[in-house]
Amino acid sequence: MTIEQNIASIKAALPADVKLVAVSKTFPAADISAAYGCGQRAFGENRTQELKAKHEELPEDIEWHFIGSLQTNKIKYIAPYVSLIHSVDSARLLEAIDTQAAKCGRTIDVLFEFHAACETTKHGWSEEELLMYAEGGEALKYSNVRIRGLMTMASFTDDTAIIRDEFRRTRRLFERLGHTFGDSFDTLSMGMSGDYTIAVDEGSTLVRIGSSIFGNR
């Protein structure tokens, strides 16, 4: 199957209101161009230097999503053009993104990364931390970031009941936090190549798919 055929079959399986972000990390610009050629515009990367190089080489109307762990001193490489940062895992990072966005005269859309999985290797906020931070009003004091929702990665397991439960807990938290953040809190980023059908079932509004489009890394 070609990249074009993979995108077509994934899009055919996704509800029209679920956004597809093609995760192009580690793949060359030529593969992104192939996907772009059949209308795909949103791409996900997890390294700032790689994203910067691809942004410089590829068309201006690509919507770049940052999905990896982000160090505060690297935000400046992506702040001028990044469309959505999915991986805000601390208050300190949110503040640093706000600072860099202000320097660019922009407002940057962000998601909080929620740690729903059981693995301790994964990043993100616990439910308690996120509720305390959000309901304390802290997150609303920044004028150059717009908090759009949550991102999560499910556990790496064959047990679909565990995966479903993690996505369901994430959606419940998303709904609860919506009371604090209001109408612009509208994005629930969950689902990858191996689990996106479960994620969509559980209310995902955005899936991040890499290997099912571009092949194994």
Ligand X SMILES: *Cc1c(COP(=O)(O)O)cnc(C)c1O
Q: How far is the CB of 25 from ligand X (least distance, A)?
A: 6
In whole angstroms, what is the distance from residue 77 CA to residue 87 CA? 16
Look up residue 38 and give its amino acid.
C
In whole angstroms, what is the distance from residue 215 CA to residue 140 CA? 40
Q: Which of 6, 24, 46, 204 binds ligand X (CB under 6 A)?
A: 46
Q: Which is nearer to ligand X, 142 or 191 (CB)?
A: 191
Q: Which of 147, 153, 154, 177 binds ligand X (CB under 6 A)?
A: 153
Contacts of 103 (CB under 8 A, 6+ apart): 76, 79
Q: How far is the CB of 148 from ligand X (least distance, A)?
A: 16
Contacts of 215 (CB under 8 A, 6+ apart): 27
Residue from 85, 82, 79, 124 nearest 99 by CA: 79
The answer to the question of residue 124 lying near ligand X (CB under 6 A) is no
Query: For residues 167 and 213, is the Cβ–Cβ distance under 8 A?
Result: no
In whole angstroms, what is the distance from residue 200 CA to residue 143 CA? 31
Listed ranges 5-13, 104-112, 166-174, 203-211: which one lies at the site for ligand X (CB under 6 A): 203-211
The answer to the question of residue 157 lying near ligand X (CB under 6 A) is no
The answer to the question of residue 83 lying near ligand X (CB under 6 A) is no
The answer to the question of residue 48 lying near ligand X (CB under 6 A) is no
Look up residue 175 and give its amino acid.
E
The answer to the question of residue 155 lying near ligand X (CB under 6 A) is no
The answer to the question of residue 193 lying near ligand X (CB under 6 A) is yes
**3-class DSSP state of 72:** helix
Q: How far is the CB of 7 from ligand X (least distance, A)?
A: 13
What are 88's strand-pairing partners?
Answer: 112
Q: Which of 94, 192, 198, 200 binds ligand X (CB under 6 A)?
A: 192
Please state the φ and ψ torsions of residue 22, each to the nearest 5 degrees.
Answer: -85, 115
Q: How far is the CB of 179 from ligand X (least distance, A)?
A: 26
Listed ranges 47-55, 129-137, 164-172, 206-214: which one lies at the site for ligand X (CB under 6 A): 206-214
The answer to the question of residue 23 lying near ligand X (CB under 6 A) is yes
Q: Which residues in this chain contact ligand X in the complex, by CB under 6 A? A: 23, 25, 46, 67, 153, 192-194, 208-212
